[in-house]
Amino acid sequence: MRLTSLAHYQRDGKRLATIVSVLVRYGLADRLVNVEPDFVKRWLKHEDLEELAKLSLGDRIRRACEELGPTFIKIGQILSTRPDVVPQEIATALESLQTQTPGSSSDAIVAIVEEELGGSVPELFAHFETTPLASASIGQVHRAHLADGTKVAVKVQHPGIEEKVNVDLNILIHLARFFEEHDPELQIYGPLALAEESKRTLQRELDFRRELRNQQAFERSFEGDANVIIPATYPDLSSRRVLTMQLLEGYSIRETERLLSDGHDPARLALTGAHAFLKMVFQDRLFHADPHPGNVFVLDDGRIGLLDFGMVGRLDEDLLDDLLDLLIGFVGQDVSGISRAVQHLGSIPADCDQTQLRRDLAELQSELSHVPFDQLEATVLLDQFTSLIRNHRIRLPATISMLIKVLAMLDGTSRQLDREFSLTELLGPYCEDAIRKRWSPRVQARRAYETGRDWTRFLVGLPRVLDNITQRLSRQALTVDLEHKGLEATVDRLVSGILCAAMLLGGSIMWALGAPPTLFGISVLGLVATLLALLHGIRLLSKLGPH
């Protein structure tokens, strides 16, 4: 694969050059300097790198993402939710990515709203403020009033953002494929798989209809809750690029001094927020995957409001079961149970040292066993666990990685509000309830039915499969494709050994027969061939090494 394939498109080629230039300048793609063609090098700038050299790797990645714009800011945020791949120091740096961007022109925003909703802004809204409340990488939010006076927030995509993002994503896929093919150090992280996962996630966020459905699901889940509010949505005033919702008038939960001055109880808010998220995970199996303090509001009446449902995580029954097995293993100090849960949850590389993995898990369990589980800081447990997973290059499902990040963020935010807060203490009842449900007669009956249905389908279809195989065998049309891996070196040594033996045999025959030319009665060709064969044989033996 050559990156020059993008040079056929003037726009993409220039954008690729810009991306490469920034990556190289921040020391994130040095390999490209020596391999990139002239069309990229024309845009590479040689600047004073002394200041950049002082930055940590995480800060360099963060600044590069911010300089490259919305697509890379969002990708950085996505990667910050992958602690199984991204080291903690880098994830922490990516969490602080600046998402505030200059707002688009009011004329362009009004044009999008009218095009998407099929009417003029004065017809759609009694009042629409053209100055945005906030502007992020993908879109911006405007305050508006409906005809009945209801205050709403209208989220509108930046003009042309989808086209820009798609160009960047295509380039990102090409770069990821390049690094996977040419950089052994990055291959172990699966850059192409990560890029494709980021592409899927970001393209989903570009469709506000998906966010609308997510938000409606959370609305139903927390309907009637006295402590948590999800903004109501207005489907008739929403589309792919416009989302209209109830305006929550409050402020971020991070403003602790303001909370105290307004008479709110930070400890109660921490407990309320934690229960809300644990309910999402263990009861609804649908959770808000981006709960940074800017998306958690405190209203005047003390309720907690949640915003931005573009990124959510969904736990199916099998994932939740594996997660429960992992938690049970830690609580019960069952290293074998933890190891089995990890193997069920993650994608373990073929060369993973299973013995060392169990030893590392046992060591982690031993360190944690001296602290009562309800007194253990969740952030410490999650950091150590994800570091172990990352060291063994185990890839977790994206949903589990997001959940780990959510729990760590929830624990950190809650401890800022209440130093005595313990997430692990709250986890107990939710886990117990989930375990009871897992072993309930109703769930077991449903699983037995599903298992029986699968076996029935298999047994019914088995005769047809066997008949197909038999017919193909009779027609000699059955083929078996075999793929070998790692045999190249063995085959090379085998061929070299055969040639060495042939040379030794031929040289010995010429020597014995005295084939001319001769020197002191010895065949010169036979002697040379024999010596070369012996030297080559010794070289082959030395390469084999000890077993």
Say if residue 184 is in the same domain as residue 256.
no
Residue 332 within a domain:
yes
Residue 523 within a domain:
yes
- Cα(132)–Cα(194) distance, rounded to whole angstroms? 33
Predicted confidence at residue 231, as pLDDT, reads: 96
Say if residue 511 is in the same domain as residue 538.
yes
Predicted confidence at residue 485, as pLDDT, reads: 55
- Digit-by-digit pLDDT tens for the chain (547 residues) are 455 444 444 557 788 888 888 887 777 765 554 544 444 444 444 445 556 667 788 888 888 888 888 888 888 888 887 777 777 788 888 877 766 677 889 999 999 999 999 999 999 999 999 999 988 888 999 999 999 999 999 999 999 999 999 999 988 888 888 888 877 767 767 788 888 888 888 888 899 999 999 999 999 999 999 999 999 999 999 999 999 999 999 999 989 899 999 999 999 999 999 999 999 999 999 999 888 888 899 999 999 999 999 889 999 888 888 888 888 877 777 778 888 888 888 888 877 888 888 888 888 888 777 777 667 777 778 888 888 888 888 888 888 888 888 888 888 888 889 888 888 888 888 888 888 887 778 877 887 888 888 888 888 887 888 878 788 777 776 676 666 655 666 666 777 778 778 877 887 787 777 777 877 777 877 788 888 888 877 777 776 655 4
- Which uninterrupted H or E stretch holds 58? helix 57-68
Residue 138 within a domain:
no
Predicted confidence at residue 211, as pLDDT, reads: 94
Predicted confidence at residue 369, as pLDDT, reads: 72
Say if residue 286 is in the same domain as residue 390.
yes
Neighbours of 270 (CB within 10 A): 24
Predicted confidence at residue 78, as pLDDT, reads: 81
Residue 208 within a domain:
no
Say if residue 339 is in the same domain as residue 423.
yes
Residue 113 within a domain:
no
| DSSP codes, 430-455 | HHHHHHHHHTSHHHHHHHHHHHHHHH
Residue 239 within a domain:
no
Q: DSSP class of residue 55? A: S
Residue 316: which of 291, 287, 353, 290 has the closest Cα? 287
Say if residue 87 is in the same domain as residue 178.
yes
Contacts of 545 (CB under 8 A, 6+ apart): none
pTM: 0.74
Say if residue 386 is in the same domain as residue 502.
no
Say if residue 330 is in the same domain as residue 391.
yes
Say if residue 368 is in the same domain as residue 462.
no
Q: How many domains does the chain have?
A: 4
Say if residue 274 is in the same domain as residue 403.
yes
- Cα(199)–Cα(168) distance, rounded to whole angstroms? 10
Residue 227 within a domain:
no
Q: Which domain holds residue 40?
A: 3-99+163-203
Say if residue 431 is in the same domain as residue 500.
no
Say if residue 434 is in the same domain as residue 460.
no
Helices (H), 120-265: 121-124, 161-182, 184-187, 191-205, 208-221, 256-261
Predicted confidence at residue 40, as pLDDT, reads: 44
Residue recorded with tokens 């950091």:
383
Residue 125 within a domain:
no
Say if residue 365 is in the same domain as residue 294.
yes
| DSSP codes, 353-397 | -HHHHHHHHHHHHHHHHTS-GGGS-HHHHHHHHHHHHHHTTPBPP
